[in-house]
Amino acid sequence: MFLRKSTPRSLSIASRFGLKHRRLASTKSLKETIEEVIPVKQAHLKKLKTEYSDVSIGDVKVGNVIGGMRGLRAMLWDSSVLDPEEGIRFHGLSIPDCQKALPTAPGGKEIIAESMLWLLLTGQVPSVEQTRGLSRELAQKGNLPPYVESLIDSLPRTLHPMTQLGIGVAALNHDSSFQAAYENGIKKSEYWTYTLDDSLNLVARLPALAARIYRNVYRPGAALPEIDPELDLVGNYSKMLGYGDNNDLTEYLRLYISIHGDHEGGNASAHTAHLVGSTLSDPYLSYSAALFALAGPLHGLANQEVLRWQLSMLKEVGEDVSHDTIREYLWKTLKAGQVVPGYGHGVLRNPDPRFIALQEFCDSKPELLSSPIIQLVKKTYEVAPNVLKEHGKTKNPYPNVDAASGCVLYHYGLTEFKYYTVIFGVSRALGCITQLVWARALGLPLERPKSYSLEAIEQLAKSGGP
């Protein structure tokens, strides 16, 4: 991406992180900054179409087709790329890069959602002033419409929180700027502006929606605090959950939501949002579909499964546990035909940098260092990779982000397992809405891959291709 000339201050910061092509953005608004970048991206896409449309970038094997399309290079997703060895990068920036460069909340140390969202949407590191301005804009837009409040309040407490979140997000479609503009007739070149409007409204309202679900299910009758225009998005979310006085939990949520917000486009929730968005469904409908993908046990429910397993181990082996005892418990799990939750990943072949970032957060907090559940997570990490290598049935014996995320929430008192995926849902919106905006700005087409029957696949395989 080509970016405008940097100021001396931003050049020094970029150079310090080895990011000489990047800059801290100016005082321009988010929309103005995106407008500046669009022509460059459009020109790059045009070049790819003109010069490389017929160039192969990989083969399609039968194993790819019947194996969940793993590894197929078949999707444009510009905001992040997941490398099997080094992990996720956001417009080229690693998680440690982001922790050094992106603005934090006033008085805080962790990345906040607004600075990550700005980076994802623009490829630029925002200034503190721009980040604060986006925080105020989201706070101003953050209240739920009364009809959504009534809808959520009418749902049974026994309905899964993720189901409620998807319902609430879909209902926000009632006020979609994109849908209204499309029905009135707009130019394709204007699609992205209305998509951006909807996307920012969605991100802004997710904390109030998610907090209302938490209140209704777990704390019925409790008052919901008003949105504070001086707080960042996650600061308000933590406050509405009832944990606003717990600065450590709030900081943890800031870190978790920021680094978990985008993980390239091939995962189930991101791909679902992109697929539905390619039909020109508005961001509310597109992201509600993504949330229902996220609710699946093979995707977003993993962190609660890890926590259940860790608590079961803690109950059986006790707090003062040795590495040998953990090793025995791991083998007991594997010999029972079960997987070790929180280990392995569909793409990664090394420890997940998100896991490392959460572990470093734990290492910085004395109360977490002395927590039995957190210590068990750490000791398990010291033992599990070698056990899994010896077992020989996993391509990646290292921990992913879920190996630590739920256990920290549990330590800080947010112990309602079923709610954890809702927090994931608040986070993953950052990457999904970024893709929706850019798909409209670049005029990406309706997604329509070709499918084949078992017989047709066999015939193609025998004949050596189509």
Residues acting as catalytic residues: 299, 345, 402
Among all chains, which residue has been given the structure tokens 């397993």? 309
The b-or-e profile of 284-311 (16+ CB within 10 A means b, else e) is: bbbbbbbbbbbbeeebbbbbbbbbebbb
- Helix 128-140 to helix 233-241 angle (10° resolution) is 40
Q: Are 173 and 285 in contact (CB under 8 A)?
A: yes
Contacts with 51 (C-beta within 8 Å, 6 or more apart), sequence order: none
User: Where does 318-352 have alpha helices with state H?
Assistant: 323-335
Output the six-digit token pair for 193.
């502006």
229, 182, 180: which is closest to 204 by C-alpha?
Answer: 229
Q: Rounded distance, CA 97 to CA 357, Å?
A: 12
For residue 398, give Cα distances in angstroms to 284, 337, 360, 376, 395: 35, 19, 16, 16, 9
Q: Are 135 and 121 in contact (CB under 8 A)?
A: no
Among all chains, which residue has been given the structure tokens 């959504």? 148
For residue 52, give Cα distances in angstroms to 47, 48, 57, 165, 381: 8, 5, 10, 41, 44
Which residues are paired to 104 by β-bridges?
111
Dihedral of the alpha carbons of 149, 152, 157, 159, in degrees to the nearest 10: -160
| CA 439 centroid distance within chain | 18
